[in-house]
Amino acid sequence: MGGDYAPQNIVLGAIDALKSDPNFELILVGKTDAIEEILKKEGFKSDRLEIIDAQEVIDMSDNPTSALKTKKNSSIVIGANLVKDKKAHAFVSAGNTGAMMAASTLLIGRIKGVARPTIGANIPNQKGRSTTLFDVGASIDSKPIHLLEQAILGSIYVEELQGIKNPTVGILSIGEEESKGNDLTFAATKLLREANINFIGNVEGRDILKGTSDIVVTDGFIGNIILKFAESIIGLLKYKLKMYAKKNLWNALRVLFAKGSLKGALQDMDYQSHGGVPLLGINGISIIGHGSSSPLAIKNMILRAKEMYDKNLIQKFEEALKNHAEK
Amino acid sequence: MGGDYAPQNIVLGAIDALKSDPNFELILVGKTDAIEEILKKEGFKSDRLEIIDAQEVIDMSDNPTSALKTKKNSSIVIGANLVKDKKAHAFVSAGNTGAMMAASTLLIGRIKGVARPTIGANIPNQKGRSTTLFDVGASIDSKPIHLLEQAILGSIYVEELQGIKNPTVGILSIGEEESKGNDLTFAATKLLREANINFIGNVEGRDILKGTSDIVVTDGFIGNIILKFAESIIGLLKYKLKMYAKKNLWNALRVLFAKGSLKGALQDMDYQSHGGVPLLGINGISIIGHGSSSPLAIKNMILRAKEMYDKNLIQKFEEALKNHAEK
């Protein structure tokens, strides 16, 4: 029931996911009547699809933590509990982000050795792949140990899900030299140097789009600001082109041509198509989608969750953290 | 002597500045022979131009603070001392940024009531003007009081230099609501609410390019990262268009058209043309340019310095800080 276009987009995305992969079962959690109406309209039936009723909805204005207590029959609480109770292997939602984080962390719980779960975002880079930025909002006022956790969990995630062997990790700072940084980067760098990851030291703001390292770790306050800044670039480009086109007819023609190529070229900067970000460090798979998720985004989130399960990500996280603790 | 193209670009920019404004005198600080050679080649003479010899050069690899002591005959040390000794009203350099900050802060000194000088950068926004971001690298691990100083100095700077009456100030955070933020924003918000500025509360990463507020204050670590991220956008666009053009001839043609309009549309995202950023809060005018400054950038820096002097900025800063302290 989460997101601006629920349950419509969620159900449509779920149908597409079931159609594209025969090897998983799906539980839709929400208002049964509303869900069945869409399924009927689409003429979709599958014995791999189950509906669990949830009559309450945590909406965008609800306080995340208190909603977990006051709305126990919401799709977010019931969904998270399905993972906690081992009745589901993964949980996906486009609902209230804070509530998803709270439900995942408090109900499903953290992996042993994780102080703070983290969210990474893929940002396209000049190497033709993407830079994964941790954290983008789950860990505010991070301590050095949190950046270390991001690097360990992130390295496994990027290696397994993006197929980048032994991915490089950079720490976001204000200069290449190790002497450049703030209190957090100085302390975190010491921990990162000793960890079993491919740490390359400081990277700068410009290195994210350059793709200098596969993974960039930073405090969640900073990552969130960069992600939102990046998402707003296309808006500025559109505005700039509009202003340029207004100057004269020749400009307008150029822009007409430019639009098509820009749209094509910038396709992967459309964060919608990625379909959600996983919350890493909790003891189960939990993927949080954008409130305005399209059916395609929902489908991608579901398939991403399945891939994380198939690749035994949680177990690999546990082992890496255990190995690190024993070192 | 500072910057990648010194003294060539510096002298050429100085000549252009002198030609475009008859109402100021200029001192070139550097190796007299090298400077005179360029002036001669350009056939330029003016009784408003003086040369003060500086045989040493602080280069990009020098440690900023220690270079002030070991290279007393460098153009940066001599230039800053000219302002300190009231022999010049402003100092402009494209040299080592750290050394410029150190020389300005330690030799010229701070305005009474300023704990940390700050650097602001103009980022074009969707309102057709620019958002000025403080701080972009002078103040790392900022305390709440430093963000307040940025807001007070920045408000005067933007009102006087950009002609925006009573400019709005936002504090960079991870949500619009006052409950969203980190330890620094919560504490700084209290100070900003009480100050004699046009404070509008939290702004997010996307609000910088949207232009939600005229001024955005944040820790210098974050501002520096955002600025460098923003500067790298054009590189990613070029790469994306190149990849898109490679797919087929039709795409290549579209991109050919797109390039012209993008170049025109994104002209003001070329930070070069802005010509340097002032270090606000020191007891004199000091403008720090990019190492690769063009003659145009140098000219703009010189004229900007003159404008700051003409508009009595330092005195206005002093008064605002005094009024704030007395409140």
Q: Which residue of chain B is at minimal alpha-carbon distance from A224?
A: B174
Among A6-15, A57-66, A77-86, whose mean pLDDT is lowest?
Answer: A57-66
Dihedral pair phi/psi, residue A276, rounded to 5°: 80, 165
A residues 156..215 contacting B (CB < 8 A): 172-174, 181-183, 204-210
Whether the CB-CB separation of B191 and A140 falls below 8 Å is answered with no
To the nearest whole Å, the CA of B268 is away from the closest chain A CA by 10
Q: Is A61 on the interface with B (CB under 8 A)?
A: no
Angle ∠(B141,B213,B104) on CA atoms, nearest 5 = 45
Q: Is B61 on the interface with A (CB under 8 A)?
A: no
Inspect the interface and report whether the beta carbons of A264 and B258 lie closer than 8 Å: no
CA atoms within 13 A on the CB side of B188: 31
Q: Is B29 on the interface with A (CB under 8 A)?
A: no
Q: How far apart are CA B281 and CA B301, in angstroms?
A: 18
Q: How far apart are CA A175 and CA A207, in angstroms?
A: 11
Q: How far apart are CA A195 and CA B215, in angstroms?
A: 40
Q: For A229, which of B206, B231, B255 is closest by C-beta distance?
A: B206
How far is CA A72 from each of CA A56, A59, A90, A106, B227, rounded to the nearest angstrom? 8, 13, 19, 13, 44
Whether the CB-CB separation of B204 and A136 falls below 8 Å is answered with no
**Which of A63, A141, A229, A259 to mutate to test binding with chain B, by most B CBs within 10 Å of its CB?**
A229
For the beta sheet containing B285-288, the strands, ordered from the edge strand earlier in sequence to the opposite edge, are: B90-93, B285-288, B277-280, B118-124, B130-134, B215-217, B168-172, B198-203
Inspect the interface and report whether the beta carbons of A226 and B226 lie closer than 8 Å: yes
Q: Is B270 on the interface with A (CB under 8 A)?
A: no
* Single-letter amino acid code for the residue at B215: I
Cis peptide preceding B7, ω within 30 of 0: yes
* Single-letter amino acid code for the residue at A278: P
Q: How far apart are CA A121 and CA A215, in angstroms?
A: 10
pLDDT at A13 over 80: yes
Q: For A231, which of B206, B243, B261 is closest by C-beta distance?
A: B206
Torsion angle of C-alpha atoms A297, A303, A305, A307, degrees rounded to 10: -140
- Specify the pLDDT at position A3: 83
Map A110-134 to HEC letters.
ECCCCCCCEEEEEEECCCCCEEEEE
- Specify the pLDDT at position A269: 65
CA atoms within 13 A on the CB side of B210: 13
Same fold yes or no, B1-114+266-327 and B121-229: yes
Inspect the interface and report whether the beta carbons of A261 and B257 lie closer than 8 Å: yes
Split at pLDDT 50, 70, 90, the class of A66 is very high
Q: How far apart are CA A109 and CA A119, in angstroms?
A: 15
Q: Where are the domains of chain B?
A: 1-114+266-327, 121-229
- Specify the pLDDT at position B254: 80
Q: Is B244 on the interface with A (CB under 8 A)?
A: yes
Position with higher pLDDT, B326 vs A36: A36
Inspect the interface and report whether the beta carbons of A254 and B260 lie closer than 8 Å: yes
- Specify the pLDDT at position A256: 81
3-state DSSP helix/strand/coil percent for chain B, to nearest 5? 50, 15, 35
Q: For B229, which of A226, A237, A245 is closest by C-beta distance?
A: A226
- Specify the pLDDT at position A258: 77
To the nearest whole Å, the CA of B42 is away from the closest chain A CA by 36
Inspect the interface and report whether the beta carbons of A224 and B205 lie closer than 8 Å: yes
Q: For B229, which of A126, A208, A235 is closest by C-beta distance?
A: A208
**Which of B221, B255, B267 to mutate to test binding with chain A, by most A CBs within 10 Å of its CB?**
B221
B286-321 CB burial, b ≥16 within 10 A, e <16: bbbbbeebbbbbbbbbbbbbbebbeeebbebbbebb
* CATH number attached to the domain at B121-229: 3.40.718.10
Q: How far apart are CA B183 and CA B202, in angstroms?
A: 14
Q: Which residue of chain A is at minimal alpha-carbon distance from B268?
A: A240
To the nearest whole Å, the CA of A89 is away from the closest chain B CA by 31
Q: A-chain residues within 8 Å CB-CB of B182?
A: 140-141, 219, 221
Inspect the interface and report whether the beta carbons of B222 and A225 lie closer than 8 Å: yes
Split at pLDDT 50, 70, 90, the class of A38 is very high
Q: For B141, which of A182, A206, A237 is closest by C-beta distance?
A: A182
Inspect the interface and report whether the beta carbons of A183 and B141 lie closer than 8 Å: yes
- Specify the pLDDT at position A270: 60
Q: For B205, which of A183, A209, A226 is closest by C-beta distance?
A: A226
Q: Which residue of chain A is at minimal alpha-carbon distance from B61?
A: A177
pLDDT at A260 over 90: no
pLDDT at A271 over 70: no
Inspect the interface and report whether the beta carbons of B261 and A243 lie closer than 8 Å: no
Inspect the interface and report whether the beta carbons of A244 and B265 lie closer than 8 Å: yes
Whether the CB-CB separation of B106 and B284 falls below 8 Å is answered with no
Non-local CB neighbours of B175 within 8 Å, separated by 6+ positions:
B181, B202, B204
- Specify the pLDDT at position A252: 86
Decide the pairing of beta strands A277-280 and A118-124: antiparallel
Where would I find the beta strands (DSSP E) of A155-266? Answer: 168-172, 198-203, 215-217
- Specify the pLDDT at position B326: 84
How far is CA A210 from each of CA A29, A128, A261, B237, rounded to the nearest angstrom? 41, 10, 21, 11
Q: How far apart are CA A214 and CA B101, in angstroms?
A: 33
- With CA atoms as reference, report the closest residue to A166 among A138, A199, A192: A199
pLDDT at A99 over 80: yes
Q: Which residue of chain B is at minimal alpha-carbon distance from A250?
A: B261
CB atoms within 10 A of CB A45: 8
Average pLDDT of chain A?
A: 93
Q: Which residue of chain A is at minimal alpha-carbon distance from B251?
A: A261
Arithmetic mean of pLDDT, A281-285: 96
The single-letter DSSP state of residue A288 is E
Angle ∠(B113,B71,B4) on CA atoms, nearest 5 = 90
Low-confidence ranges of chain B (pLDDT < 50): none
pLDDT at A262 over 90: no
CB atoms within 10 A of CB B2: 29
Determine if the pTM surpasses 0.80: yes
Q: Which residue of chain A is at minimal alpha-carbon distance from B232?
A: A206
- Which CATH number applies to B1-114+266-327: 3.40.50.1100, 3.40.50.300, 3.20.20.70, 3.40.718.10? 3.40.718.10
Inspect the interface and report whether the beta carbons of A174 and B239 lie closer than 8 Å: no
Helix axes B249-265, A233-247, angle to 10 degrees: 80
What's the CATH class of domain A1-114+274-327?
alpha beta
Q: Is A66 on the interface with B (CB under 8 A)?
A: no
Q: B-chain residues within 8 Å CB-CB of A174?
A: 137, 140, 220-221, 224-225
To the nearest whole Å, the CA of B208 is away from the closest chain A CA by 7
